[in-house]
Structure 1
Amino acid sequence: MNPLAIGNSQGKQQLRLNWPDGREQVIDHTELRRQCPCSQCRAFRLQGLTVKVDERIRVVELNAQGYGLQLIFSDGHERGIYPWPYLAQLGLETTTG
């Protein structure tokens, strides 16, 4: 299931996703960077390590990939493509309407 709308606030450092079922999801940029699904970041987490992320990090570019979203961060990291189901599990959810 793809979101109906995607918003990126660099000022608030948040990604907003509006899903077809009425949910609005807010995910902080720092959390997105920590949960990057690229092989390098996943291997790091599987070793029980925490990805260190500067709290000032921002998502500077969004690239839709059909099955998900590639996020490019202000630290230059761009290897992760976040599948829609993976994004749906992250962040805070609120119901709109």
Structure 2
Amino acid sequence: MSCAPTHAVWHQASGAVELAWSDGARAVLSGAALRSACRCAGCERVRRSGGRVDAPVAVRVVDLRPMGEGAVQICFSDGHERGVYPWVYLRDLVHEAIA
């Protein structure tokens, strides 16, 4: 099965991203949830040092940039745009959101 979603919509008004896969997994992820889940080197460094990456609720997705067929770069209203989100990782986030 492909890791790419069958449905991906960026809701520009709310700054959230709606994702769905062929097996029925589906969720709307807020900009704050996606920003807090960023795995870029800077965010991972914060986590390794015992910190947390907690984005303010008002953080929105302001752009999505495809990165080949396997990932998307997500840009946020706080200026952060270093995170590349593989589809398989976003699928994990969707499963966490619906669990």
TM-score range, shorter chain: 0.7 to 0.9
Aligned to 2:98: 93
Structure 2: how far apart are the matches of 1:76 and 1:90?
22
Q: Any stretches of 5+ residues in structure 2 without a counterpart?
A: none
* TM norm structure 1: 0.85
Aligned position for 1:45: 47
User: Aligned letter for 1:23?
Assistant: A
The answer to whether 1:34 aligns with 2:39 is: no
Q: How many equivalent pairs are there? A: 94
- State the Cα RMSD in Å: 1.7
1:18 Cα deviation after fit:
1.1
Q: Do the aligned residues in 1 keep the contact of 2:36 with 2:54 (CA within 8 Å)?
A: yes
Q: Percent identity?
A: 36
Matching of residues 14-29 of structure 1 within 5 Å: 14-29=16-31
Structure 1 stretches of 4+ with a deviation exceeding 4 A read none
Name the structure with the higher strand share: 1
What do the CA deviations read for 1:2-36 (whole angstroms, capped 9, x no partner)? 00111122444421101121221221211110110
2:69 matched to 1:70?
no
> Which structure has greater helix proportion?
2
Task: Output the CA distance in 2 between the equivalents of 1:61 and 1:13.
Answer: 9
What are structure 1's unaligned runs of at least 5 residues?
none
